[in-house]
Amino acid sequence: MLAFRLFILAMIIVVSSIIGILFSKRYANREKEIKEMKNALNMFSTKIKFTYEPIPNVFMEIANKIDGNIGTIFNVAANNMKEMSAGEAWRKALLISKNNLNKEDVATIQNLSRLLGQTDIEGQISEVEVVNNFLTVQLENASEERRKNEKMYRTLGLVTGLTIAIILI
């Protein structure tokens, strides 16, 4: 009976620690996804500037090169462009995608939808540059939040598990 009780207490500590680690990963994942989005937008800017390919084709190429949530956003947007305008497809793809970006990040990236497919190449490139500049600020904020919160959530998970185990003893 004592061994079973110790096993349950150990499992509580392990599970709460894992939960803390998962919460802390959100901050690292957000930072990673902002970097991936900046990279994808740079690829988009370069492609439309030098190849004059249609936006859906460029988005599909980016989706094939970038894995994860950001690649999915570009894939969904490219598929949505068959039925709606580029700006609307981009906005819809951002809204339905599951990612680690916060509301400010999404709002910044959604700004691209205003002129996407509506202006000439230079106008779109300048809009991408503006969004990229905003994302640079968001990346700095994400790095700072990660530094502040990552260790806290890991420790909080462990301490919560230990507290529950002590209470149950």
Six token digits for residue 121: 């190449």
Mean pLDDT on 64-75:
90
What size, in residues, is the chain?
Answer: 169
Instruction: State what percent of residues in the chain have pLDDT above 70.
Output: 100
Whole-number average pLDDT of the chain: 88
Answer whether residue 169 shows pLDDT above 90.
no
Cα four-point dihedral sign 106, 107, 110, 111: negative
> What CA–CA distance (Å, rounded) separates 122 from 99?
29
> What CA–CA distance (Å, rounded) separates 127 from 134?
11
Inter-CA distances, 109 with 71, 160, 169, Å: 14, 36, 50
pLDDT score recorded for residue 50: 86
pLDDT digits (tens, 9 = 90+) for 7-62: 999 999 999 999 999 999 999 999 999 999 999 999 999 888 888 788 888 889 99
